[in-house]
Amino acid sequence: MLSLLIFTPLIGSLVIALLPRENKDLLRRVALLFSLVPVALVAIMWARYDTAAEGMQFVERIPWIPAVGIQYFLGVDGISFPMLAVTALVTTLAILASFNIQERVKEFMALMLLLETGMLGVFVALDYFLFYIFWEVVLVPMYFIIGIWGGPRREYAAIKFFIYTLLGSVVMLVGILALYFQSGLGTFDMLAIAEQARLNPTAQYWIFLLLFFGFAVKVPIFPFHTWLPDAHVEAPTGGSMLLAGVLLKMGTYGFYRISYPTLPDAAKAFAIVMGVLGVINIIYGALVAMAQKDFKKMVAYSSISHMGFVLLGLAAMTPMSMAGGLFVMISHGLISPMMFFFAGTVIYERTHTRMLPEMSALFTKMPVAATLLAFAAFANLGLPGLSGFAGEFFTLTGAFEPLTSLVAVAVLGMVLTAAYHLMMMRQILMGDATAEAAGHAAALAHGHGAAGHGAAAAVRLPDLTLREAIVSAPLMVSIVLFGVAPSLLLRIFNPSIQALLSRMGGL
């Protein structure tokens, strides 16, 4: 089941490579079809998933390179399975959102499917060697997606993304090799090393730092975050949706899957550092987002802020805080793609600008699209009843007792987040479109005489299309569903979180 899930997109990428590039509609439909297969497989797995089990499910294990203890070892638990669902869903929606791509459609769709194979592989690999291969596979297609189909500064953003993430990956590889040799078990099996390795505290600290650097770049954690705004702003909409919805979560997933269960002494020793860095992410990201004029850059910095809550949940190391951190990962994986879809496609294609001061009165000009954007913004700022609030509430509640001071500061970040979202909505959604049209008409008439005639008619913009509604609907339904019934996720998280904390010493 897991092998089929991972490699179906890769097969789709190869099929697209054999199709004629002139038939763009066929290329789009084939890519969409192959991306739907993992969605269907995840749905089947969800129906069969045992929410009471602590261990791995759907396990596949085959010896690969026995001489050095490398296996083809796959499995999922409550930490990884929800991320599989988010990855499958967001990839399909990102491909559908990219149907407006006109240049080199064949290459774009093939790379999107290759990217999906890498992302899915990261969340199911239980052998360090296999995990690292999938981790690196993700890097290549995203580099080309940004560098070829991105904005005016796409080459700069792509190279910056590549250098940062490659450097982080190389340092992480050193940590993996150190873990392999220090464990003395002669295997790259993640579970075996976590359960059987007896590493002294000094070795744990150094390996933790090496792995931390690789994961921190991907999250990203301040001050390793500077590649993210450039990548988001220049990436095409589909790339931004996957970058925010899935790629950032690979870093925090690494802490849950590798650093904490395998290096528990180091995780406890660096807990306060993780908490402080998490709060810095929350406050810094919110303040910088508030200062942005570019809509996509605002959403990019909001992602940095939200990922800080995951770090805070990890730092507190209580069952509720760590489940809350996972909840934030899933919630943000649904909300941020919707925000980037509206910023990069729905709004931009109609207004031809991403600059907030240049937009206004969208409620009047395109009421349905503006309403959906307002929904996404309220979800992102943490409105009760939506998934964003549930994740942050569980994280802060779980972290309150061990990290009271940091939680008090983090709450300020929630206030700032609400503030810049409300400022954004007041700027671009509200206002008087009739007055704006009259002003445009007067300016045109002043400069061109009768050219001002009919300017008021230009105020109305095309509203939400069927394709845009199809992209938005699954995200909206999921955001409401998990906000109203968070137990749907918590019952999947909790057994794995309890097992993780038990392995760390019963915290």
Residue 442 has pLDDT above 50, yes or no: no
Does 291 share its domain with 265?
Answer: no
**Is residue 439 very low, low, confident or very high in pLDDT (cuts 50, 70, 90)?**
very low
Q: Is residue 158 part of a domain?
A: yes
505 within some domain? yes
* CB-CB contact of 90 with 82 (8 Å): no
In a domain, 140, yes or no: yes
1 part of a folded domain: yes
Half-sphere exposure of 287 (CA within 13 A, CB side): 8
Report pLDDT for 332: 93
Nearest-5° angle of CA 178, CA 179, CA 181?
65
Q: With cut-offs at 50, 70 and 90, classify the pLDDT of residue 358.
A: confident
What does the alpha-carbon distance between residue 60 and residue 121 come to, in Å, rounded to a whole number? 13
**Which H helix or E strand runs over 85?**
helix 81-97
Of 6-10, 265-269, 348-352, the poorest mean pLDDT is in 348-352
Does 15 have pLDDT greater than 90?
yes
pLDDT at 416: 94
Q: Would you say how long the chain is, in residues?
A: 507
Kindly tell me the burial class for residue 44, based on how many C-beta atoms sit within 10 Å of its own C-beta (0-12, 13-18, 19 or more): exposed
Same domain as 309, residue 233: no
In this prediction, residue 103 carries a pLDDT of 87
298 in Cβ contact with 287 (< 8 Å): no
Q: Helix, strand, or coil here: 226?
A: coil
Tell me: do 367 and 426 sit in the same domain. yes
Is it the case that residue 199 has pLDDT exceeding 90?
no
Domain that holds residue 87: 1-269
Domain-terminating residue out of 244, 269, 294: 269
Tell me whether residue 438 is in a domain.
Answer: no
Residues 66 and 52 in one domain: yes
- Residue 423 token pair: 């400022």
Please tell me whether residues 324 and 256 are part of one structural domain.
no
Domain closes at, from 254, 269, 284: 269
330 and 349, same structural domain? Answer: yes
pLDDT tens digit sequence for 139-185: 999 999 999 998 888 899 999 999 999 999 999 999 999 999 998 88
264, 283: one domain: no
Write the single-letter amino acid at 26: L
50 falls within a domain: yes
- Give percent of the chain with pLDDT exceeding 90: 73
- Same-domain pairing of 45 and 130: yes
| 1, 58 Cβ separation under 8 angstroms | yes
pLDDT in tens, 59-85: 999 999 998 899 999 999 999 999 999
- pLDDT tens sequence across 377-434: 999 998 999 999 999 999 999 999 999 999 999 999 999 999 999 999 998 988 765 5
Mean pLDDT of 441-448: 44
- pLDDT tens by residue, 222-236: 888 888 888 988 889
| Band of pLDDT at residue 334, cut at 50, 70 and 90 | very high
Regarding whether 194 and 112 lie in a shared domain, the answer is yes
Looking at the structure, do residues 6 and 128 belong to the same domain, yes or no? yes
Closest CA to 263 of 322, 320, 201: 201
The pLDDT of residue 117 is above 80: yes
Residue 71 parent element (H or E): strand 70-76
Residue identified by tokens 């099929």 is: 15
Question: pLDDT: is 102 or 283 the higher one?
Answer: 283
Confidence at residue 196, expressed as pLDDT on a 0 to 100 scale: 86
Q: Do 416 and 368 share a structural domain?
A: yes
Instruction: Decide if 135 contacts 169 (C-beta within 8 A).
Output: yes
Residue 120 lies in a domain: yes
Is residue 491 included in any domain, yes or no? yes
- Clarify whether residues 29 and 127 are in a common domain: yes
Please tell me the predicted confidence (pLDDT) of residue 344: 84
Local confidence band at 28 (pLDDT 50, 70, 90 cut-offs): very high
Per-residue pLDDT at 430: 85
- Collect all residues with Cβ–Cβ distance below 8 Å to 78 and sequence separation of at least 6: 51, 492, 493, 494, 495, 496, 497
pLDDT for residue 438 is more than 80: no
Q: How far is CA 360 from the centre of its chain?
A: 29
Can the peptide bond before residue 384 be classed as cis, meaning omega within 30 degrees of 0?
no
Per-residue pLDDT band for 458 (boundaries 50, 70, 90) equals very low
The residue among 269, 301, 319 that closes a domain is: 269
> How many domains in the chain?
2
